[in-house]
Copies of this chain bind each other. A is one copy, B any other.
Amino acid sequence: MAKNEGFVKEIADIEADFPQWYTDVVLKTKLVDYGPVKGTMVIRPYGYAIWENIQRELDARFKAAGVENAYFPLLIPMSFMTKEAEHVEGFAPEVAVVTHAGGEKLQEPLVVRPTSETIIGHMFGKWVESWRDLPLRQNQWCNVMRWEKTTRPFLRTSEFLWQEGHSVYATGEEAERETLRMLSLYETFAREVLAMPVLTGRKTEKEKFAGAVATYGMEAMMHDGKSLQSGTTHYMGQNFAKAFGVQFTDKDGSLKYGYTMSYGVSTRLIGALIMTHGDGRGLVLPPPVAPVQVVIVPVAMQKEGVLAACKELAFGLEAAGLRVKVDDSDNSPGWKFNEWEMKGVPVRLELGPRDIAAGKVVAMRRDTLEKSELSLAEAPALVVELLRAVTEGLYEKAARRMRERIVTAETLDELLSGVSGGFVRAGWCGDRACEDKVKEFAQATARVIDGEHTQKTCVCCGKQAAHTVFFARAY
């Protein structure tokens, strides 16, 4: 196993230097590369295939929920940004601006969308006339741009890919219900497709979306105990409807403003699953999104019949709906084992002359590194089952970590101790001053408000708690 060790050394130690481990893993498994402009990334085929799987799974859920896809323009007139006061304050410092086009200076600068509430609000204002047009529920898959000072591939880049859904309803109740329903859709998606447990809840005023009445988020705990905001939904009330004239004639003939909401997840989810499931050997990809779910490594490949048997096995697995690769390259089996372990392929099958003779195949689960022998004849059904077990195992492992690393704090010192390795549940009086002080004292922020537990006193000022909050250090 000398080769294996040599290989693993290419990646920094996950426990000693998690940030370097992350950088090593995303670059060396060819998920991503740095673009030529500071803060940009190139999503390479192995990374983009994960995104395609995320898109396919999530898009099907949106469509089943009755949401339609559309596409709105990239460039937004600067004047749109200023129509909603909080919105411009939040996003103006981060936008990239087109000032020249077609060889001329533009009369009005155009903003590269950081998010599309304004331009979609404008179009919805054009389209919505009557209560019969409501609800209007559209989504787009697109690129957005937020000029960030500190960037890291997938987690924070100046340009990223995402989906943003936008709905208008006739009443605030309906729009708020949709805000919670989409949060729930995200949570289910995270569990079933990314094998990722999340905490969900309302964001504090400080952490909410610029222009929203209320923002809800889902937060996942990474390997190092820090939190990653993995998806958000926003209830806008009539803020954007009023700014963009989204009005409808109600059944009684009166003219009313609609209520809007929006929701989004991004390529950040790829970063989330890497930092949730990865281990010392590299990536561990959840089967539902793994570009290659099963790799077949021939043993004694030059022996007659081995490669043919591997390909026949692959056909059987593909027929069962799996994404399969036979690694028939010239590299040694040991080299291949390391390569595909680092790339996080959920199940490896090893097939050599002796296995073939015995009607067996050796399977290894990437998550536990456990090996087992499977009947070659029944391999497709057994591998489908094994992949399901890997998905469940990954979820359980991450859920256990999250359970074990959430502590309750009564004091700032306890909070500080708790956020060094996980999340902290604590009371909060509701004042921004206390929220800021926690940030300063413990470099931790209020991730979401905990709707299930109640603490009596504010962890910071000791006054009566208005909410119980999950505090954590966050990416």
A residues with a Cβ closer than 8 A to B are: 33, 35-37, 40-45, 48-49, 51-52, 68-77, 80, 92-103, 109-110, 112, 119, 122-123, 126-127, 138, 142-143, 145, 147-149, 158-159, 161
Inter-chain CA distance A44–B99, complex, in Å, is: 27
Contact for A71 among B48, B69, B97, B122, CB less than 8 A: B48
Inter-chain CA distance A298–B126, complex, in Å, is: 32
Chain B residue with Cβ nearest A120: B42
A138 proximity list for chain B (CB < 8 A): 45
Chain B residue with Cβ nearest A59: B52
Q: Are B143 and A74 interface neighbours, CB within 8 A?
A: yes
Inter-chain CA distance A168–B253, complex, in Å, is: 63
Inter-chain CA distance A49–B110, complex, in Å, is: 28
Inter-chain CA distance A52–B141, complex, in Å, is: 11
Q: Are A147 and B102 interface neighbours, CB within 8 A?
A: yes
Contact for A44 among B52, B70, B103, CB less than 8 A: B70
5 further interface pairs, Cβ-Cβ under 8 Å (given A45-B68, A75-B145, A102-B147): A42-B72, A95-B101, A96-B101, A97-B98, A102-B149
Inter-chain CA distance A99–B127, complex, in Å, is: 33
CB within 8 Å for A80 and B36 given contacts A100-B97, A101-B95, A147-B101 = yes
22 contacts between A and B (CB under 8 A): A33-B126, A33-B127, A35-B72, A36-B76, A36-B80, A36-B122, A37-B75, A40-B73, A40-B75, A41-B73, A45-B69, A73-B159, A74-B143, A74-B159, A75-B159, A95-B102, A96-B98, A96-B101, A97-B100, A98-B112, A99-B100, A143-B143
A48 proximity list for chain B (CB < 8 A): 68-71
How many copies of this chain does one complex carry?
2
Inter-chain CA distance A280–B338, complex, in Å, is: 63
Q: Are B119 and A35 interface neighbours, CB within 8 A?
A: yes
Q: Are A71 and B161 interface neighbours, CB within 8 A?
A: yes
CB within 8 Å for A42 and B69 given contacts A95-B101, A98-B97, A101-B147 = no
Inter-chain CA distance A69–B35, complex, in Å, is: 16
Chain B residue with Cβ nearest A267: B71
Q: Are B149 and A33 interface neighbours, CB within 8 A?
A: no
Chain B residue with Cβ nearest A108: B37
A80 proximity list for chain B (CB < 8 A): 36
The 6 closest A-B pairs by CB, nearest first: A102-B147, A45-B68, A96-B101, A43-B71, A40-B73, A35-B73
A110 proximity list for chain B (CB < 8 A): 37, 96
**Most chain B beta-carbon neighbours within 10 Å: one of A68, A76, A101:** A101
A142 proximity list for chain B (CB < 8 A): 143
A97 proximity list for chain B (CB < 8 A): 98-101
CB distance from A278 to the nearest CB of B (A): 22
A102 proximity list for chain B (CB < 8 A): 93-96, 147-149
A101 proximity list for chain B (CB < 8 A): 95-97, 147, 158
CB distance from A115 to the nearest CB of B (A): 15
Inter-chain CA distance A149–B51, complex, in Å, is: 36
Contact for A36 among B92, B112, B119, CB less than 8 A: B119
Inter-chain CA distance A148–B126, complex, in Å, is: 25
CB distance from A43 to the nearest CB of B (A): 4
